[in-house]
A and B are shown apart, each in its own frame.
Chain A
Amino acid sequence: DQQVKQNSPSLSVQEGRISILNCDYTNSMFDYFLWYKKYPAEGPTFLISISSIKDKNEDGRFTVFLNKSAKHLSLHIVPSQPGDSAVYFCAASGDNQGGKLIFGQGTELSVKP
């Protein structure tokens, strides 16, 4: 039972364009969502998060949107840069999860020069 799903295993975009990574969840009790970025041979690093009381959070080139009614969140990267090429994981948590993070399968983003 996959509570957090990233249905696109990979995404390729041109440098300077927008990258949109999507994530769906099934548990309506989740109320905190995060995006992590992972380069090969390194651990995931925290990128951006959003609480369920918001529908948007921005940090520089990165914006996360949350649609609670659709149980959907997305990460927008504008403009995309070659250094953004990595695997992106979304994750969710909530009080009823005992503090545990539930991760999606990941989306590999490739930004071509």
Chain B
Amino acid sequence: NAGVTQTPKFQVLKTGQSMTLQCAQDMNHEYMSWYRQDPGMGLRLIHYSVGAGITDQGEVPNGYNVSRSTTEDFPLRLLSAAPSQTSVYFCASRRASRFNQPQHFGDGTRLSIL
């Protein structure tokens, strides 16, 4: 069972470069989200989606774009990478937009911005 798949696992970028972090789930989950994990900060929500065509901002959305053209995929785009975006990024999904369902996480993308 694949669950939530994130690619790439590691990436090094230079300041100003752009890239897309990929996230795909095969559980037909409507709700998908992106988090970043930084030391001492826990997991902070970047963007989320309650279904195809619908996205919204989380706690720390600046510098990131998302789109949701299919149920399965929820890519996260960095248009102009900054050193402050060095972090570990996690994608998650859950069965419905109801809040009382646990989320399933991918294994993360470790991103370094030089």
Residues of A within 8 A of B (CB): 4, 6, 9, 32, 34, 36, 41-46, 49, 51, 89, 91, 93-95, 97-106
Contacts and interface: CB of A to CB of B under 8 A. Distances in A.
Contacts, number: 62
A36 B104 CA distance: 10
Contact of B58 (A49, A51, A93, A100): A100
A23 to B, nearest CB: 11
B107 A41 contact: yes
B42 A105 contact: yes
Interface of B: 4, 31, 33, 35, 40-45, 48, 50, 56, 58, 90, 92, 97-100, 102-108
Given A43-B107, A44-B105, A45-B105, A51 B43 contact: no
Nearest to B3: A43
A99 B97 contact: yes
Contact of B99 (A6, A93, A105): A93
A98 B59 CA distance: 13
B7 to A, nearest CB: 13
Given A46-B104, A98-B56, A106 B99 contact: no
Contact of A99 (B50, B90, B102): B50
Contact of A95 (B41, B92, B99): B99
A52 to B, nearest CB: 10
Contacts of B48: 99-100
Contacts of B43: 44, 89, 91, 103
Contacts of A44: 43, 90, 105
A101 B103 contact: yes
A61 B31 CA distance: 30
Given A32-B100, A97-B99, A43 B90 contact: yes
